[in-house]
Homo-oligomer: A and B are copies of this chain.
């Protein structure tokens, strides 16, 4: 069990009345309890909180009139680590993958796994199925990419990354996810906090579905499992953007 203190500050210059959809609060899951949580806005605004889906993703919505908005989030996360003999974890046969997991085998906005499934199979199909195969995919991604802040942007996808061989945590995750899907392993994106980064920061990593459970992987090797707190999961980063802004009037 580990106890982690979290915090983040965001500032926005709001020029028009704008709807904010925030995904910054840590998730409540069987493995992660959240306490002492504070989400404050300066100036104060009415906040609507909701739960999205079955995986503990949370959402805060606010409507903000023109101002400089400061968002402050703090919480304590208590993590119950899973300690398993992972070397023995195999893959779930295609016919047994639960229906609600199947969506994580489909290609998505940033993980166009259909575009290079042949490459994924050529490179990774000879490996023994299971945890070690996903580990090998993570190793391949770590070894073939250069971690280069600024080398990618909000439209960069896994195919771009496979070609250009550089990226940041989000790109490492997207490529890993796509390669897993390419060999038939459901995989999804996890947005979270990594408190063991210097400085602590938002982080993106990967979960793969093996033997009936989701297992965590981080192809960047930048943060330990014990330093990671989950915000939410999705097919890729498109589903767990920190903040989505919609100007009420769509003024351009």
CA distance A61 to B165 in the complex (A): 29
Asked whether, in the complex, the Cβ of A239 is within 8 Å of the Cβ of B106, the reply is yes
List chain B residues, Cβ under 8 A from A2.
none
| Tally of chain A residues near chain B (CB < 8 A) | 50
Give A147 Cβ to nearest chain B Cβ, in Å. 14
Q: How many copies does the complex hold?
A: 4
Q: Which of B99, B106, B162 is within 8 Å of A59, CB to CB?
A: B99
Q: A19-B95, A52-B99, A107-B238 are in contact. Are A165 and B59 (CB under 8 A)?
A: no
Select from chain B the residue with minimum beta-carbon distance to A143: B122
Report whether over half of chain A's contact residues are helix, strand or loop; otherwise say mixed.
mixed
**A114-132 CB contacts (< 8 Å) to partner B:** 114-116, 118-119, 121-122, 125
List chain B residues, Cβ under 8 A from A164.
115-116, 118
Q: Which of B103, B184, B239, B246 is within 8 Å of A184, CB to CB?
A: B246
Asked whether, in the complex, the Cβ of A95 is within 8 Å of the Cβ of B252, the reply is no
Asked whether, in the complex, the Cβ of A106 is within 8 Å of the Cβ of B52, the reply is no
CA distance A121 to B252 in the complex (A): 7
List chain B residues, Cβ under 8 A from A116.
163-165
